[in-house]
Chains A and B, each alone.
Chain A
Amino acid sequence: MATETDTRILQSLISNRVAFATSVPCKQLAGVIELVEDSGDILHVPCNKEDEGMGLCAGAYMGGMRPCIIMQNTALGVVINSLATLIQFYHFPLPMLISYRGEVGEKVACQVEMALHTKAILSQLHIPTYHFRHRSDAKDLDDILGHCFMSNKPVAILADAMFWGSAS
């Protein structure tokens, strides 16, 4: 069931002319994925793994569509090479809407392990990173997406459990 926050995220994607999205599911992202799938403005192509998704996004961008990938932070361990040698090397813009699992409010202990490395990995890759903790942080998404497509760089939006309202 999509929330008001999910709707706001979709509106930001559309207003920034994002026309292609790929995703690997996460329960926190379920509402956004549902909206993206149903949106007539965005072509949603679910992928099996996030590096595959980055290939799809690269192709879509070359075909003239602004892309976006929706994924979990745990997938950062999967996509480092794709980020460096495809997205960064060829200067493709790629907003990564990432559910930040393992932060305060997490219920699955194992997720914490990757959360400990998430920002360090992104920092090491010199990827602009924005941490959404509160619902009101979604207001920054428009500018972040604009920045991403202006700079032709991957950009990470880490949205944690508190942001999704599931910290309880």
Chain B
Amino acid sequence: MIRYDVLKEIIPLLDGRLVVCNIGSPSQELFELHDQPSNFYMLGTMGLCSSIGLGLALAQKKDVIAIDGDGSVLTNLATLSTIANNPASNFTLLIIDNGSYGSTGDQPTYAGAKTSLAGVAKACGCENVVEVSAKDTAKELERALASVRKQARSGDFDGPRRHCRPLHEKCRDRTGQLNHRTAAGTIGWYLTGPLATHPLEQHFHEWQRSRPVFRRPHDQSHSQEQSWQVRRSSFCP
């Protein structure tokens, strides 16, 4: 399996959830597979996907899934310690580890060699670290999310400063089959639905409306495929 296949399999689990997606190809692929208002597509600041996801999870109660990559996590390893020490039981960090900087020409990462990100996460204090093969990702992610829901039912889930429940999953694909998909997505992110009950909702909506660059491709007169092509030049990994 390649990353695209992993994303394809987990799409049903992402539906309706807050998703923070890593810079470059993963965001392009997620957009193509399942664009939704609650997706945040990173366009810069490699490495901060996990941190943004943690901040989002700490600030509100809905489930947050951050889809990160091995190369990006390596640039911001210390955030694993922040995740471990600032527990957000609604936060799931999914690190898709293909041992490669996939968006820049498939240069190898150290995570594909001696370094174990799962080991680092455990050493940082993350309590629920699960390392799975690519083909088992969807099943394990579903289990992880069910664990989050179970905590919510048990009353363990009551907003910021909750019990530690960081979840880290790792999908390893060392087959050498690397992703060269080039379908470019437009940029856009929308959180109106999930934030509908928050006191700052109005402020948020105003902020969102002030961003003309964030348009849904479906609003255009072009077909979706044409929209991608139109925007390809503005969406460079």
Contact = CB atoms under 8 A, between A and B. Distances in A.
Interface of A: 17, 19-20, 43, 45-49, 51-67, 81-82, 84-86, 89-91, 149, 152
Nearest to A46: B82
B56 A63 contact: yes
A149 B161 CA distance: 25
A55 B207 CA distance: 18
Interface residues of B, number: 39
Interface stretch (B5-13, B45-53, B107-115, B136-144): B45-53
Contacts of B45: 51, 54-55, 81-82, 85-86
Given A51-B45, A85-B44, A89-B43, A60 B204 contact: no
19 contacts: A20-B55, A45-B54, A45-B55, A45-B86, A46-B82, A47-B82, A52-B82, A54-B48, A55-B50, A55-B52, A55-B76, A59-B52, A59-B57, A62-B195, A64-B60, A64-B204, A85-B45, A86-B52, A91-B207
B210 A56 contact: no
Contact of B43 (A56, A62, A85): A85
A59 B54 contact: yes
Contacts of B52: 55-56, 58-59, 62, 86
Contacts of B195: 62-64
Contact of B55 (A48, A51, A60, A90): A60
B48 A82 contact: yes
Interface in B143-199: 160-161, 189, 191, 195, 198-199
A61 B86 CA distance: 17
Contact of A43 (B58, B189, B204): B58
B211 interface: yes
Interface in B31-50: 40, 43-45, 47-50
Contact of A52 (B20, B48, B198): B48
A15 to B, nearest CB: 15
6 closest A-B pairs by beta carbon, nearest first, are A85-B44, A59-B55, A63-B59, A55-B51, A55-B48, A48-B78
A164 B40 CA distance: 39
Contacts of A52: 48, 51, 76, 78-79, 82
Contacts of B203: 149
Contacts of B127: none
Contacts of B200: 17, 64-66
Contacts of A53: 51
B201 A64 contact: yes
Residue in A17, A51, A56, A65 whose Cβ sees the most chain B Cβ within 10 Å: A56
A91 B204 CA distance: 11
Contacts of B81: 48
Contacts of A45: 54-55, 58, 82, 86
Contacts of A61: 55, 59
Contacts of A58: 48, 51-52, 55
Interface in B62-96: 76, 78-79, 81-82, 86
A117 B54 CA distance: 32
B59 A60 contact: yes
Nearest to A92: B207
A84 B46 CA distance: 12
